[in-house]
Amino acid sequence: MNKLKLKTIGLILTILAFHITAQSSDEQKFNEAVKLFKDRKYQTALTNFKVISDKENPNQTAAKFFVVKSLIELKKYSEAEKEAIEFLEKFSSSKYADEVNILLIKSFLEQKKYKSAFRQSIDLLKSSSSTSYKIDAKSIAQKIARNYLSSYDLKEYSDKENDKKIKAFLLYTLAELYSLEGQSDKGIKILEEIVNEYPQTDEYFLARNSLGSNQNQQVKDEIIVGVILPLTDKDGKRNIAAEEMLEGIKYAFHEINFNRDNKIGLLIRDSKRNEEEIRDIVQEFDSDKRVKAVIGPVYSDESEIVVSALSQTDLVFISPTATDEDLTENNDQFYQANPPFTVRGKVFAQYIFLKEGKKNFAILNSLEGYSPILAKSFADEFQRLGGNILSKETYRSKSVDLSKQISNLSQYLGELDGIYIPLSDKADAEIILSEMLKQNFIVPVYGNQDWLNAKGLETSSTISNSLKITSDYFIDFTDKSFTEFNQNFLNTTDKEITRNVLYGYDAAKYLVTVLRAIQPTRNTVKLKIDSGLKSNGYHNNISFSKKKRNLYLNILNYSDGKFQLIEKYRGTE
């Protein structure tokens, strides 16, 4: 009997070993396929993904998603359609379902199956639990309706729909089509129906605003965006950074106006870093009802002047770069596209705790600059989420001896998942890393964007290769879409892309995205921004919280001597 038991146990162990080996092999194959996909070797990647997706394993749904994605890249749209439909039938609750829906819509559009693409957009609107994807679904559906469907087609959809929120969206889109087709009376009746019967929907506010507009048609149809930038200082000296931002703003509107009959104009004003000038510009923008929104100012002190004048106007202002903490407090019209430092610390804490699942951290920060702000917001949020801050140490920036601080932190070495080190001066990094190596305090380091230009990373690779940071900008110069954008920008402006160009461009692109999907009035612009609309940017994505602050940050890691993008991560407030 004992021999039989031993044989049975041996057989079980053999089966388990085989199962673990098979799992390990599948994981390796999947990672290799992902690398092939990133290297744009789509056909080989597709073959590998299909092998993994045809059997049950932890990467099956991810592999099936990449099968669809690879087929799209290979322009095999009918095959992509088949695979996407099969995915959504079998794995409707998968985290990849929303993105597969988007890919299916794309395959329909490429095959000119416009009604199928529209139906799929509505399915995505119904099924997705993500606000971002719901907004995308509405935007896609509206574009399809305006360009490829008739009011007759859309009425068929709206007549059959029972969900009130979806119905209101379909009716509002139908009203737009009636207007485009010259049937304004029918459009007005539809808008009245929305106001009377669908008060709990987003379209209620849009419909009410459209009906309540009493501006004459010429003024109503003309759209202008105000731009307020410090192009010169008080002494008349040029501000190169602001000029570069303006180039980015102008190029974003050049892109949308290229094929647009009703052009969007820009009213550009120089603030001259002067309070009286700024207040006059706000008054000028407010009195011109063609101005629907304003981009700027750039600096926080100028933004404070604008904020103090907001009671005089119903315009919204989107600052590309202002980072002061209290700019969006106690007002409803000022938006920060560049996340303030409290947001940066808070969002990174969310990423580490929620995305990476790490629970025990230490903090080392300087007593100068924004380092204490980052450290406090990180600690508060990390502990609120349920994490533990086991140790906190501080130092004076540019100190040459941090042995005591690192020694104190080293007591918790065996318990720590990582340490958060927000720098206020890039020069401090080399001293910190050197002391950590000296005391063999080897833990994953997390930091802020000052680490981007820090010294000592290559000579401290044991630690630095585990470094992850947040940054409000990251430009992937190897990305194909950016390369094309860069070339087009150069051809049009005869200028090179810079970080400041992208601050301006991405803020303007966000506003362009807002203006595309609405009847543009000051109120509807604000409502659209407040809906949580997301715009994918080159330096960072933009999506505003209820506190009117952008919640996206680039998460980067340091590896093989350079920083690489992990993802553009959206936090919560």
Whether residue 196 is found in the same domain as residue 51: yes
Instruction: Give domain status of residue 388, yes or no.
Output: yes
Contact 293, 313 (CB under 8 A): no
- In Å, what is the CA distance from 344 to each residue of 374, 424, 433? 7, 14, 23
Instruction: Give domain status of residue 374, yes or no.
Output: yes
Instruction: Give domain status of residue 555, yes or no.
Output: no
DSSP element (H, E) containing 555: strand 552-559
Query: Which tokens hold the place of 266?
Result: 């820009």
pTM: 0.62
Instruction: Give domain status of residue 366, yes or no.
Output: yes
Whether residue 419 is found in the same domain as residue 447: yes
- 65: domain CATH number? 1.25.40.10
- In Å, what is the CA distance from 565 to each residue of 354, 478, 538? 19, 11, 12
Whether residue 307 is found in the same domain as residue 362: no
Whether residue 171 is found in the same domain as residue 47: yes
What is the spatial distance between Cα 474 and Cα 457, in angstroms, rounded to a whole number? 18
Q: How, if at all, do strands 360-366 and 334-336 pair?
A: unpaired
The pLDDT of residue 498 is 93
Instruction: Give domain status of residue 6, yes or no.
Output: no
Instruction: Give domain status of residue 173, yes or no.
Output: yes
Whether residue 60 is found in the same domain as residue 151: yes
What is the spatial distance between Cα 88 and Cα 98, in angstroms, rounded to a whole number? 9
Number of domains in the chain: 3
- At 566, which amino acid appears? I
The pLDDT of residue 52 is 87
Whether residue 351 is found in the same domain as residue 334: no
The pLDDT of residue 182 is 67
Instruction: Give domain status of residue 356, yes or no.
Output: yes
- In Å, what is the CA distance from 342 to each residue of 229, 324, 346? 25, 9, 6
Whether residue 141 is found in the same domain as residue 51: yes
The pLDDT of residue 211 is 81
Contact 454, 471 (CB under 8 A): no
Kindly give the parts of the chain with pLDDT less than 70. 1-24, 182, 212-221, 517
End position of a domain, from candidates 196, 212, 228: 212
Whether residue 306 is found in the same domain as residue 268: yes
> What are the beta bridge partners of residue 334?
317
Instruction: Give domain status of residue 16, yes or no.
Output: no
- At 173, which amino acid appears? T
Whether residue 262 is found in the same domain as residue 392: no
What is the spatial distance between Cα 101 and Cα 535, in angstroms, rounded to a whole number? 19
Whether residue 151 is found in the same domain as residue 55: yes
End position of a domain, from candidates 193, 212, 231: 212
Query: Which tokens hold the place of 119?
Result: 């139906």
User: Using one digit for the tens of pLDDT, what is the confidence trace for 262-274?
Assistant: 778 889 999 999 9
- 501: domain CATH number? 3.40.50.2300
Whether residue 500 is found in the same domain as residue 396: no
The pLDDT of residue 221 is 58
Domain boundaries, position 367? 342-471
The pLDDT of residue 217 is 43
What is the spatial distance between Cα 535 and Cα 508, in angstroms, rounded to a whole number? 10
What is the spatial distance between Cα 180 and Cα 187, in angstroms, rounded to a whole number? 9
Whether residue 382 is found in the same domain as residue 455: yes
- Cβ-based neighbours of 571, under 8 Å, separated by 6 or more: 343, 346, 347, 350, 351, 551, 552, 553
Give alpha helix (H) positions in 288-350: 300-308, 341-350
